[in-house]
Amino acid sequence: MAIIVQKFGGTSLSNAEQIRRAAKRIIERMQAGYQVCVVASARGHQIEDLLRDARELNPNPPKREMDQLLSTGEQQTVSLLAMALDAMGHKAISFTGSQIHMLTDGVYSNAQIKSVDSEFIRRELNEGRIVIVAGYQGVDEYGNITSLGRGGSDTSAVALAAALKAQECEIFADVDGVYTADPAVFKNAALLDEISYDEMIEMASVGSGVMHIRSVAIGKRYNVKIRIRNIANDNPGTIITHEVPQMEGILVSGATIQKDMAKIGMAGIPNIPGKAAQIFARLAEAKVVIDDIIQTEISPEKANMSFMVAKQDIEKAKAVASQLKAEHYCDTIMVRDNIALVSVIGVGMRSQFGVAERMFGALAKAKVNIESITTSEIRISCAVGLQDVERALEAVCLAFDLDRPARQRTQVAK
């Protein structure tokens, strides 16, 4: 019997009515002949309430205790969902991450999954039960409760789908799927029928909030077909899958923006092997996540370097940079706030030319000044001023026909 994994987020489970709606989506799949394993997040606002309770007692609570506290949010949802299914006449059983042996490392608040006991879940499924698993959480080898960090419930769902060799992993959202761009910014954005793992990973890394990079990466690694669909309707949604040949015909699949970035520049770094590595090691020690490193040699003795950091890391990055300057790792530091990134993503870039040219042309025509440019194999990102970013996105979307479904685009021919 084929297995389907379904994941419901917290905003889809915030009250009894929504829990019953989720239960109906589960029953539909049961009745279509699948075994169903469900992953659920904490109910909307539960986590905020618990965070407030914790901060009231301790402004900097121990991470182990935070995970112990917050994991109750999902535990409540899964038992309530099981009760709702029972009331509708279906056998369901709920489990915490610990109960299904979702084994992780011991990094509280950001743990990595090591293994999951799929046989345990299979036995329950084979008893005819709907299995409901608390997302976002696991347990380390000593029995401590851990949480998987951002996007955690998606990660739980995709990992379970991989372990159970599920036919599909359905991620229910409050949107119809993945769009070519954020419809809140570019209102003519088109819905994508499918997108490759690599594109989705790149999109997530530069601002798309639909799915977290980590869960997509696990999906790619274990070949899990992920479907993002709307909880409120029956639309088929967007499938995230392996690249198929026709995807290459499409130059750009989507565009994103990422606001609230800052650019940190360090000028006059001694051109000695290992200096850059030491700088990045220090930033990593301070847990600063850096993006888009640009290094240029300005003389045989000196080099300049700049990198982007997200809002929450700006202060940490500045502090590390100042310390490095004091230790003569560089001559001067430059910080530029209010930077944003506009990016285009597409596996078609690998085999087609002219993407950068068309992007820069569109930005120039829209009078958007480009601060710096970085690229990956399937992405081009331009740093622009925060005040220009929405205009920049629209210009780029129109340049690549992102207001039309993939099949109707004329990107290459243009």
Per CB under 8 A, residues contacting a copy of itself are: 16, 19-20, 50, 53-54, 56-59, 61-62, 64-66, 68-69, 71-72, 75-76, 78-80, 82-84, 86-87, 93-94, 96, 98-99, 143-145
* DSSP 8-state class, residue 358: H
- Tell me whether residue 82 or residue 125 sits nearer to a copy of itself (CB atom): 82
The least CB distance from residue 169 to a copy of itself, in Å, is: 24
- Tell me whether residue 53 or residue 331 sits nearer to a copy of itself (CB atom): 53
> Among all chains, which residue has been given the structure tokens 């036995």?
123
The least CB distance from residue 46 to a copy of itself, in Å, is: 10
Which of left, alpha, beta for 364 (phi over 0: left; psi -120 to 50: alpha)?
alpha
The Cα 6–Cα 126 span in angstroms is: 17
The least CB distance from residue 56 to a copy of itself, in Å, is: 4
> Do 100 and 133 contact (CB within 8 A), yes or no?
yes
- Tell me whether residue 72 or residue 110 sits nearer to a copy of itself (CB atom): 72
The least CB distance from residue 65 to a copy of itself, in Å, is: 4
Quote the tokens at residue 383.
């740093």
Which of left, alpha, beta for 109 (phi over 0: left; psi -120 to 50: alpha)?
left
The least CB distance from residue 76 to a copy of itself, in Å, is: 5
- Pinpoint the alpha helices (H) of 206-313: 213-222, 275-285
- Tell me whether residue 33 or residue 143 sits nearer to a copy of itself (CB atom): 143
> Among all chains, which residue has been given the structure tokens 């970013």?
389
The least CB distance from residue 130 to a copy of itself, in Å, is: 12
- Tell me whether residue 69 or residue 333 sits nearer to a copy of itself (CB atom): 69
The least CB distance from residue 286 to a copy of itself, in Å, is: 23
Tell me how crowded residue 361 is: count the other CB atoms within 10 A of its CB. Answer: 13
- Tell me whether residue 18 or residue 278 sits nearer to a copy of itself (CB atom): 18
Residue 180's nearest CA partner among 361, 411, 29, 402 is 402
Residues 358, 384, 182, 356, Cα dihedral to 10°? 20
| C-alpha pair distances (Å), 39 with each of 81, 95, 152 | 10, 10, 11
Residue 346's nearest CA partner among 292, 291, 289, 401 is 401
- Tell me whether residue 15 or residue 369 sits nearer to a copy of itself (CB atom): 15
Quote the tokens at residue 336.
């530029």
Quote the tokens at residue 2.
């084929």
The least CB distance from residue 141 to a copy of itself, in Å, is: 13
- Tell me whether residue 68 or residue 230 sits nearer to a copy of itself (CB atom): 68
What backbone phi and psi angles, to 5 degrees, belong to 412?
A: -70, -45
Tell me how crowded residue 35 is: count the other CB atoms within 10 A of its CB. Answer: 23
The least CB distance from residue 232 to a copy of itself, in Å, is: 20
The Cα 96–Cα 400 span in angstroms is: 45
- Tell me whether residue 59 or residue 273 sits nearer to a copy of itself (CB atom): 59
